[in-house]
Amino acid sequence: MLSRRAVLAGGAAALAASPLVARAQTSPPTVLKIAPREIVVNGKSASVYGISQPDGVFGLFTDVGKPFRVRVENGLDKPSLIHWHGLTPPWRQDGVPGISGPPIPPGGSADYDFPLTFGGTFWMHSHEGLQEQLLLAAPLIIRDQRDRPDQQEVVVLLADFSFTPPEKIFEDLQKSGSMGGMAAMAAAGAGSSQKMGGAGMKMGTAPAPKTAMGGMKMGGSAAAAPAPDLNDVKYDAFLANLRTLADPDIVKVEPGGRALLRIINGSSMSAFHIGLGALDGELIAVDGFEITPIRGRSFPVATAQRLDIRVSIPPGPGAYPVLAQLEGERRQTGVVLVAGKGTVARVPDLAAAASPALTLDLERSLRATKPLAQRKADRVHTLNLTGEMAGYIWSINNVVWNKDVPPLAVAKGERVELVFVNQTPMSHPMHLHGHEFQVVDIDGYRFSGAVRDTILVPPNRRVTVAFDANNPGYWALHCHLLYHLDAGMFTTIRYV
Ligand SMILES: [Cu+2]
């Protein structure tokens, strides 16, 4: 093992491993192995990736207060690296190739060891290339005092799936561009290199008028209602715990009991509305962080976000589908909770009607139970979310990420606010590594919103999040739509 770890000397593993060596004598790390796997989707087999423990457990389930002591083994024939989404490790252990350290070579391993100071629903996924699209993602559950013995845990990991290789999906997006309307506009001679938000489009101030966006979307036609641009990639299936509704994951629950649904949107590009059907739900946490509970039967979840929803199971036998419907469409996936001798009926893959696009309506009503301390920002960074549709180029402040882009300046101890201003017709779920943040402003409405790690910024909207610079290092800050991230909607912060 030492010789394999030595492959990574000087990188993340070396830093992570050195303090580990002595303690490892008493308690070996949990091994998470990255490996290829075969799954069956729509009756066809597909080769994808997975992350599991030697005993077959998919992902990691642990407790707050315990150390996160993990060895990742790369069983692929290519480099890989796993990011612990939502955790706040020392930056060398964050799992972002080129930022926190090098990827793990084929056959190599990397060690992680840091304290878990808060619990909740998190997840892990590859941050290397487009591997996330090959389902290289798994739950990362940290149980805490919110987990009650009378409450059954039900983890639902959502994914979008395509038989087309991710590199080909990306290539096709680059060829056709996003947003047919934009491409059409370019073709019609309106210019092929206009930057959204650039001076040429007179959209440098935001939020831009909706009519302007609508006009752009429609290629300059005088459309009244601006429709946001949704779902660039046409997927072959949407999965909940790797299954479609043709053969869903069936979870046994207690009649009259309680369950905690831990919904993880581990998809690469898709946002969903979670529908509880006949069950009454109580949303108690977002991205693992507790909020003042909100009752309901439908909750939106953007890419990379998580929802903890407590549900009460009615007495007697019954079957209760928990569905995730793709935003803007009828397509859906889900799991079925079965109480007693309830009979499971086939749930169609298409809902009765298309769902709306995700909005910030719920976000505005969320209130953190443990907000950040009241404090004026020491530093504010404005991040215009920008793009150039011809060629599928995505950027921040019109800068496409590359390793020469300087990190955003931040100093240790500061309260920092990030103002996300979306100047494109697509929503972007923005994720900051290594820190939790609090949503403090939506379009000028100041409030004490949810603490979380991924915030959806819909078209033409301005959302501000605040965080405390309390974890020095070099951290990624990016859109969590995989092909936007890969195309360059990515930047960093760095402080010592
Ligand atoms: Cu994006």
Please, what are the domains in the chain?
2-145 (2.60.40.420), 177-217 (no CATH), 237-358 (2.60.40.420), 379-495 (2.60.40.420)
Cα 313 to ligand 1 centroid, rounded to whole Å:
37
CB 265 within 8 A of CB 302: yes
- The CB density around residue 430, as the number of other CB atoms within 10 Å, is 27
Sequence-distant (6+) residues with CB within 8 A of 18 are none
Query: How far, in Å, from the CA of 63 to the mean position of ligand 1?
Result: 33
Ligand 1 center–CA 303 separation, angstroms: 10
Distance 356 CA to ligand 1 centre (A): 19
- Three-state DSSP class for 361? helix
Structure tokens, 412: 């240790």
Residue 482 CA, ligand 1 centroid: distance in Å: 8
In the reported structure, the alpha carbon of residue 386 is separated from the centroid of ligand 1 by a whole-number distance in angstroms of 9
What percent of the chain is predicted at pLDDT more than 90? 81
Q: Between 195 and 480, name the one with better pLDDT.
A: 480
Interval between CA 457 and ligand 1 midpoint (Å):
9
Mean of pLDDT values over 271-297: 97
- Cα torsion through 180, 422, 306, 332, rounded to 10: -20
Residue 190's Cβ-count burial label (10 Å; 0-12, 13-18, 19+) is middle
Question: For residue 43, what are its two tokens?
Answer: 């009756």
**What residue type is 468 in one-letter code?**
D
Tell me the C-alpha distance between 73 and 83, whole Å.
Answer: 14
Å from CA of 23 to ligand 1 middle:
41
454 Cα to the center of ligand 1, angstroms: 12
pLDDT tens for each residue of 41-68:
999 999 999 999 999 999 999 999 999 9
Distance from Cα 2 to the centre of ligand 1, integer Å:
40
* CA angle, residues 244, 338, 40, in degrees to nearest 5: 20
Per-residue pLDDT of 320-372, as tens digits, reads 999 999 999 999 999 999 999 999 999 999 999 999 999 999 999 999 999 99
pLDDT tens-digit series, residues 400-433: 999 999 999 999 999 999 999 999 999 999 999 9
DSSP annotation of 241 reads: T
The alpha carbon of 15 and the centre of ligand 1 are apart by a number of angstroms equal to 32
CA 153 – ligand 1 centroid, Å: 31
CA angle 285, 290, 291 (to 5 degrees): 85
| Contact assessment for residue 404 and residue 325, using Cβ atoms and an 8 Å cutoff | no
Supply the mean pLDDT for the chain. Answer: 88
Higher per-residue confidence, 393 vs 206: 393
Q: Tokens at residue 264, please?
A: 């993880």
Cα–Cα distance, 78 to 379 (Å, whole number): 40
Element (H, E) at 484: helix 482-487
State in Å: Cα 241 to ligand 1 middle: 25
Say which residues have a Cβ less than 8 Å from residue 429's Cβ, sequence separation at least 6: 271, 302, 303, 304, 305, 454, 455, 456, 457, 479, 480, 481
User: Measured in angstroms, how far is the CA atom of residue 363 from the centroid of ligand 1?
Assistant: 18
Q: How much distance in Å is there from the Cα of 295 to the middle of ligand 1? A: 29
- pLDDT over 90 at 299, yes or no: yes
For the chain, report the end-to-end CA distance as a whole number of angstroms: 32
**pLDDT tens-digit series, residues 372-385:** 999 999 999 999 99
Of 452, 490, 255, 484, residue with least CA distance to 363:
452
Q: What tokens does 474 get?
A: 């070099």
At 390 the pLDDT is: 82
d(CA 220, CA 198): 17
Tell me the β-bridge partners of 418: 381, 465
